């Protein structure tokens, strides 16, 4: 077997989960400032589902095959020139940057050294793989909204990857947390620390009350949730309406500068400092991994199918043998 090749999850056309297959591609080599990581596990994220389905083709283009996978945990396999902070064998986690696209669904991945951090002791690769995306929740609450003790926080999509972390961190920061989720997930989000858990299918936004901070992970009905902000309130969303992308992004652009209660859209792009902060939250017991189901690499399509069906509690994680 050619040791310069590796297994990776690929697709040759846009479509449903069935377009995914396990193929072989050249194993990457780290450029200066990069690290080669042997991937042990990664999680499935909503953005890559949208990309695979062709909803982001204005960004992903028409060149195939394309790859999936955004975050990862593993061990350092090799260092590019100039990298001194890590050594071969170090256990790390990370997220591919905005310019890197997808590709962590593979046996190896290269990533800039500033995009990874050490995995906390005692955390196995599968559990660790549920947490890199939590850096988005940290950034949303710490930097984008400046959540303060005693404030009222609404988390929409509270059972998902970013949402479950936001519930935990909101509670740890001293906020009063309301979690919106499916009925089947209400006990789950209560267990994460939510003071109030609400079935999003049976309660209209206007009936939820008033909030100082709204964190949205869904991207639809943004006007309705913005109206829940008290004076001085802040709202951030990490998603937009994929059925109406132009109108949704236009509203977000206008909402960032006009009207009562600004709405900010951002996508996670964590750096080494964010991963260090994430590790501190884990070490201090503020944040714990939430793994719903573990799939082998060969069943990545099944994990995509499960996430599209809805109802996830935390993260679907893929183990790379």
**Which tokens belong to 80?**
């590019």
Is it true that the peptide bond before 221 is cis, omega within 30 degrees of 0? no
Evaluate whether 141 touches 215 at the Cβ level (below 8 Å): yes
Over residues 238-250, the mean pLDDT reads: 54
| 263/121: higher pLDDT | 121
Residue 149 pLDDT exceeds 70? yes
pLDDT of residue 59: 81
Q: What is the pLDDT of residues 84-119, one digit of tens each?
A: 999 999 999 999 976 678 999 999 999 999 999 999
Phi-psi region of 105 (alpha: psi -120 to 50; beta: other; left: phi over 0): beta
| 4/256: higher pLDDT | 4
Bridge partners, 35 (sequence order)? 79, 111
Terminal alpha carbon distance of the chain = 16
Residue 260 pLDDT exceeds 70? no
Q: What is the pLDDT of residues 167-208, one digit of tens each?
A: 999 999 999 999 999 999 999 999 999 999 999 999 999 999
Over residues 139-164, the mean pLDDT reads: 96
From the centroid of its chain, how far is CA 179? 18
28-37, 176-185, 255-264: the lowest-pLDDT one: 255-264
**How high is the mean pLDDT of the chain?**
91
Domains located in the chain, CATH noted: 5-131+290-319 (3.90.180.10), 134-265 (3.40.50.720)
**Which tokens belong to 289?**
């991994």
């Amino acid at each position: 077997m050619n040791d310069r090749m590796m297994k990776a999850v690929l697709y040759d056309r846009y479509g449903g989960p069935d377009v995914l297959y396990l193929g072989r591609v050249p194993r990457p080599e780290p450029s200066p400032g990069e690290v080669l990581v042997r991937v042990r596990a990664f999680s499935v994220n909503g953005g890559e589902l949208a990309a695979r389905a062709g909803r982001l083709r204005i960004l992903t283009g028409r060149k195939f095959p394309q790859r999936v996978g955004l975050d990862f945990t593993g061990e350092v396999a090799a260092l590019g020139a100039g990298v001194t902070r890590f050594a071969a064998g170090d256990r790390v986690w990370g997220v591919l940057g905005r310019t890197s696209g997808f590709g962590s669904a593979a046996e190896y991945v290269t990533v800039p050294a500033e995009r990874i951090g050490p995995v906390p002791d005692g955390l196995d690769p599968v559990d660790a793989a549920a947490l890199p995306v939590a850096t988005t929740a940290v950034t949303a609450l710490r930097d984008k909204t400046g959540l303060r003790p005693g404030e009222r926080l609404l988390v929409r999509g509270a059972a998902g990857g970013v949402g479950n972390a936001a519930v935990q961190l909101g509670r740890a920061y001293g906020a009063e947390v309301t979690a919106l989720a499916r009925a089947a997930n209400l006990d789950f989000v209560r267990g994460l620390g939510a003071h109030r858990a609400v079935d999003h299918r049976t309660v209209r936004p206007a009936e939820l009350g008033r909030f100082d901070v709204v964190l949205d992970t869904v991207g639809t009905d943004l006007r309705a949730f913005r109206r829940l902000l008290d004076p001085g309130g802040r709202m951030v969303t990490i998603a937009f309406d994929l059925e109406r992308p132009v109108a949704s992004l236009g509203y977000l652009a206008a909402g960032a500068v006009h009207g009562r209660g600004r709405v900010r859209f951002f996508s996670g792009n964590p750096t080494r400092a964010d991963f260090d902060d994430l590790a501190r939250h884990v070490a201090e017991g503020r944040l714990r991994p939430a793994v719903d189901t573990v799939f082998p690499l060969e069943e990545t399509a099944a994990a995509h199918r499960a996430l599209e069906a809805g109802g996830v509690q935390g993260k679907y994680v893929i183990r790379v043998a």
